[in-house]
Structure formats: structure tokens, C-alpha cells
Structure 1
Amino acid sequence: MTDLTYRDATDTDVDALVKLIESAYRGDASRVGWTTEADILDGRRTDPEGVREVIAKPEGRLLVVERAGAVVACCQLEHRGEHAYFGMFAVSPVLQGAGLGKLIIAEAERQARETWGVTEMHMTVISVREELIAWYERRGYRRTGRTSPFPYGDERFGVPRRAGLEFELLVKALP
């Protein structure tokens, strides 16, 4: 899978990125892959304004991953002092399970380390997503036990289908 290209997102990518992120996490289309949140959240995962916000942040970037000119994945990188934050990670559901995610997260870590000199990568994951957390643990991330509340009532993050959701901080030391 060395036929991937990485570039920073621009405003012309917003519609394609929203479509990609929604397809990876919400609704029946997301069930094709394994990263779906359709059983725990309804509503949207993001919207055009949210994607534009990430693109516009001076201390961050939204990486677009393409194969043969088609957008197949994306991830957010944000410089936060000694660490970088990794988020908004989405891989096309029809390509999930083929090793693409491993390549992309490794490239994101490399770029964060080389661009900002950070020594750690941080991310937050909904704590009930055990399979996803286990995937990140296999990539070297560790659970910290530090949690933050899910923003119930703020539909920009989705409409919860259950009580007790929270985000857990995962951390990886970058060599």
C-alpha cells in the first residue's frame, strides 16, 4: 500500500472529508467497516464547519490520504506543547481491515515528531469502544484512565443512544 499520498487539507476538500468521516462512523454505511459508532451514537460525527475549523487551526493540520487521486482517509494533527493530538481519524469503510490504518497512524506520528519535535501523541476515544482501544494499544498507545465527559446535549458530537459515555485519553511515547 505504498501508493498512498499525504497532503494538508484545503477548503475544497471539506465536502469529501465530511462524507468520508460520516461514512466511517455513522449510519448503516459505517457498518461495512469495523470503526462504526452507529450502535452508540446517532446524528452526525462532524459537519462542514467542524472540518473547516480543524483545517484553519494555525497549530494543526488535517492530513488527507489519497490513493489514485481519491480521498481514502484523513486524520487531524494538532501541536499542543510537548505532545501532538491525533483525532478525526477516518478510513473509508470499504478499505478498513486491510492495514491502511496502521500505515496512516505511523505516518501521522512520524510527521508530528519531525514537524514539531513532540515526544508524545495523545488521543481521546469513547471508553466503551473496547475493540478500537485494543487496536490502538497494539500500535503502542496506553490507556491512562483519565477521562472527560461526553458532551451530552451538544449534537455536533452525535446523539447518544446510551448513558455513561465518556472519552478516555490514550498516550503513546514517540521515539
Structure 2
Amino acid sequence: MDAASAQESGRLTFRDAVEGDVPALVALIESAYRGDASRAGWTTEADILQGQRTDPDGVRRVVEAAGSRLLVVERDGVIVACCQLEHRGDAAYFGMFAVRPELQGAGLGKVIIAEAERTVREGWGVSEMHMTVISLRDELIAWYERRGYRRTGELSPFPYGDERFGIPQRDDLAFELLVKDLTTTGAAVTR
């Protein structure tokens, strides 16, 4: 199912986050990546990072920032996913992507990322989508590669010592930039 048919069926709705969504979005993001609840899904970082993934101030900054959107995905009025979209010149940045752990692996992520790409291509006219992923997350990076993203090899350091981003359980963490060309149609999307 593509993003348009998901919206038309009424099963999923997409909207911009508002201030009142912040507590629910923090809980969603935390549940998708940290702690025991995250182990129900496949995107958990619980083995490499403990502590928080984000906090209310971080989510609120994304909601309020100029050139930024926090896309909320609801099913039957319940928030099931979200992602950050930030306009950066000719590119958009994709971040804070979270799907409720019990819904991961059912194809929802593919629908959401396709809608995010459509949104930034049509709304901002950007030619690329950028994101950063912890370079050790091979399974997650492979999932993005199947969506048409490519590894750049460009690494940035993990913010060790800043517990707003979690408490590292390893000393070899770094972020890798992934990029997708949004100007081509029919980009590779597989299971």
C-alpha cells in the first residue's frame, strides 16, 4: 500500500505536530529505541545506548523551528509513528523516525518514509533526502538502502558525554550520512 492509498482508506492520517503532542511523541520515540519496550520492535538501540533518546525540549524545538516539521502519523486517532522533516537548502533532513514497536515489521515504515519523501519533494522542491544513522546499525541501514538510500561513508562523531542523546554502551559509535536522490521516479523499494 502506498501513502496515498493509506490516506484515502482512512487507515492512516498525516499531520504536523502541535505543542500538545509533545508528551505522546517523546513516549513514542523512547519506546521505539530505548529500554525493554523497544525490544518488541527491531529498531531498538537498547544494546548500544541506554538512557533517553530525546526529551520534551528536543521534540518541542523540532515542532517550533522554522523550516522544520514533525510529521505525526495516526491510525483511528492514535499516534502510531512520527518523523522529523527539516528543510536544508536543496535537501531535506529526515530524523526522529519512530514507529510503535508492536507495529514494526508490518510495512508501516515504508508508507511513512514514502509520504515524507513526497511531502518534502512537493512542498520544498528539494532534490535529496539526508539522514544520519549510527554506523553500527547494519540491519537498519540495510532497510534504508532497500528504500533507495545510499551510504556516503561520511561519518560524524557521536556526542559522548551529552546524556541528552543517551548513555553509550560502546566506545565506537558514530553517525553515517545516508542520502537519497528524490529527482528520480520509481527509486528502488523492496522488502
TM bucket by the smaller chain?
Answer: over 0.9
Report Cα offsets for 1:146-174 as digits up to 9, x if no partner. Answer: 00000000001000000110000000000
Q: Which runs of 5+ in 2 are unaligned?
A: 184-191
Distance (Å, rounded) in 1 between the aligned partners of 2:119 and 2:62? 17
Instruction: Return structure 1 stretches of 4+ with deviation > 4 angstroms.
Output: none
- Aligned partner letter, 1:59: G
Aligned Cα root-mean-square deviation (Å)? 0.6
Where 1:101 maps in the other structure, the secondary structure is helix
- Aligned partner letter, 1:171: V
Are residues 1:13 and 2:4 paired?
Answer: no
1:132 alignment partner in structure 2: 140
Give the one of 108, 113, 116 matched to 2:116.
108
Distance (Å, rounded) in 1 between the aligned partners of 2:27 and 2:156? 27
Superposition deviation, residue 47 in structure 1? 0.4
Write out aligned runs for 1:16-27 (5 A). 16-27=24-35
1:121 alignment partner in structure 2: 129
Task: Give TM-score, length-normalised by structure 1.
Answer: 0.99
1:51 alignment partner in structure 2: 59
1:90 alignment partner in structure 2: 98
Report Cα offsets for 1:35-79 as digits up to 9, x if no partner. Answer: 000000000000000000000111110000000000000000000
The alignment of Structure 1 onto Structure 2 pairs a total of residues equal to 175
Report Cα offsets for 1:18-47 as digits up to 9, x if no partner. Answer: 000000000000000000000000000000
Percent same amino acid at aligned positions?
Answer: 76
Distance (Å, rounded) in 2 between the aligned partners of 1:88 and 1:121? 14
Distance (Å, rounded) in 1 between the aligned partners of 2:44 and 2:71? 21
